[in-house]
Structure 1
Amino acid sequence: MKYKSFDFDVKSVDDAGVFVGYGSVFGNVDGGGDVVVKGAFGASLAARSAKGRKLPILWQHRSGEPMGVYEDIKEDDHGLLMTGRLLVNDVQRAREAHALMKAGAVTGMSIGYGVVDDLLDTKTHVRYLKTLDLYETSIVTFPMNDEARVGVVKSLDLILKDGKLPTLREFEDFLCEAGFSRTQAKAVAGNGLTKLLDRCEADGNTSDALKMLDSFRIPQ
């Protein structure tokens, strides 16, 4: 699962726990070098609607802490407009989140999603996210830098595939989603992962590299 976070207008939070905000915006290049294309969520929203399943509101992407549901989700010209309802009368965490949102202490929404279809511009290195599978949308403390700063601790095991080391691009993407600029990510990946791969290839052993990367953490 990947994450993207955005600021939302805390004035839209009412006393009943209903709030409105954008879980994603279209057309801008975010801190991870990605652009979400208008219509990217259409198929996922249609499939969820056909099954009669509502999207959960989570706290900081913690699957064990649902706080409510999104009553209405639609794509407009700006992005993914979402109306959520916190279960303030029944869930303690929802009451806490509601108070923090109204006070302006928590001002972010962050989507958890999978990439179904994308296109990489090899000249600009911008990736266009054409079709996304929306899993959940969380209330988070830190929105993604002005529009792209991850507010959760992430582990590189999200991009380790079948016990294989990530590509340089995958490692760069991971670092960008954790809050690094694209330039910083390229520098870290080029100087860190490349040397690690070269050393392990010379030793004929990649298991140590996998262990090191799997334990890699980016703190909040």
Structure 2
Amino acid sequence: MKTKDFALEVKDLSDEGTFTGYGSVSGNVDSYGERVMPGAFAASLAKHSREGTQVLMFWQHNPSEPIGVWEDLAEDKKGLWGKGRLLMDIQRAREVHTLAKNKAIGGLSIGYREIKVTPDGNVRNLDELDLMEISLVSFPANRRARIEAVKSERMEEFARRLRDGDPMPIKEFEDLLRDAGVPKAMAVQIASVGYAKAIRSESEGVKANVMADLRSAVSAFLPNA
């Protein structure tokens, strides 16, 4: 069995032990020089459903330390999404819960067997994988997944500062758009025109209208904003 690590967004972890996160992110090359392709888990998830078996949840890939259950697993455009629940009657699960809530750990890692792999230059495309388990681990190795968590935090900071009347500087907002994938010219236009007008407006009525227009423009590129 091979393993591959991704980031867990601990903000989704509830006091009761439920959480959601991505056990795999599709389409990007990770630190192992491998790329999980969209649909790589489709056959495996269908097989688990058909045969009534479960993808297991371990601590650090240790089969002697099951800590919870996966209540739902599905593939979407981003990757392998999961809803999990730590079994809080288990001591290790309670320890993991405390560590995750305090961001002392931050990773999900899949345990799998390779079914179909194709070379793509120096990259190995993982086209089909037999998913066996998803563990909570200390160190996610997929850099993009970690960056996605950071982007989410920055977007939350942007929204909070707008609510508090302390908007971030124009250049910082432009960088936020660029990091989210907005093309440079468009990011400059949004930041230097609409955003700048909003934060410089002296009339609260005008400001509210401009802010509404700004949020609409941003949401077109950042649907989760």
TM-score scaled by length of structure 1: 0.64
Deviations 1:84-109 (A, max 9, x none): 01001x21111110111111101000
Match of residue 140, structure 2, among 119, 134, 143: 143
Partner in structure 1 of residue 21 of structure 2: 21
Report the CA distance between 1:53 and its aligned residue.
1.9
Q: How does 1:1-220 map to 2 (within 5 A)?
A: 1-88=1-88, 90-121=89-120, 124-144=121-141, 146-147=143-144
Unpaired runs of 5+ in structure 1?
A: 150-220
- The one-letter code matched in structure 1 to 2:137 is V
Report the CA distance between 1:145 and its aligned residue.
5.2
Report the CA distance between 1:146 and its aligned residue.
1.9
Deviations 1:114-167 (A, max 9, x none): 10001012xx21111000000100000111052589xxxxxxxxxxxxxxxxxx
Give the SS at the match of 1:100: helix
Seq. identity, %: 52
Give the SS at the match of 2:143: coil
Structure whose alpha-carbon radius of gyration is higher: 2
Give the SS at the match of 1:135: strand
| Cα distance in structure 1, aligned partners of 2:57 and 2:112 | 14
CA contact (8 A) 2:59 2:137 kept: yes
| Cα distance in structure 2, aligned partners of 1:97 and 1:61 | 13
Give the SS at the match of 1:93: helix
CA contact (8 A) 1:110 1:143 kept: yes
Which structure carries more relative contact order (alpha carbon 8 Å, separation 6+)?
1
- The one-letter code matched in structure 2 to 1:40 is A
| Cα distance in structure 1, aligned partners of 2:115 and 2:9 | 29
| Cα distance in structure 2, aligned partners of 1:77 and 1:54 | 23
Give the SS at the match of 1:15: coil
| Cα distance in structure 1, aligned partners of 2:104 and 2:49 | 32
Report the CA distance between 1:49 and its aligned residue.
0.9
- The one-letter code matched in structure 1 to 2:95 is E
Extract structure 1 runs of 4+ deviating beyond 6 A.
none
Deviations 1:19-69 (A, max 9, x none): 111000100011111111100000000111112222221000001000011
| Cα distance in structure 2, aligned partners of 1:21 and 1:130 | 21
The 1:30–1:70 alpha-carbon spacing in structure 2 relative to 1, beyond 3 Å, is: same
CA contact (8 A) 1:6 1:144 kept: yes
Unpaired runs of 5+ in structure 2?
A: 147-225
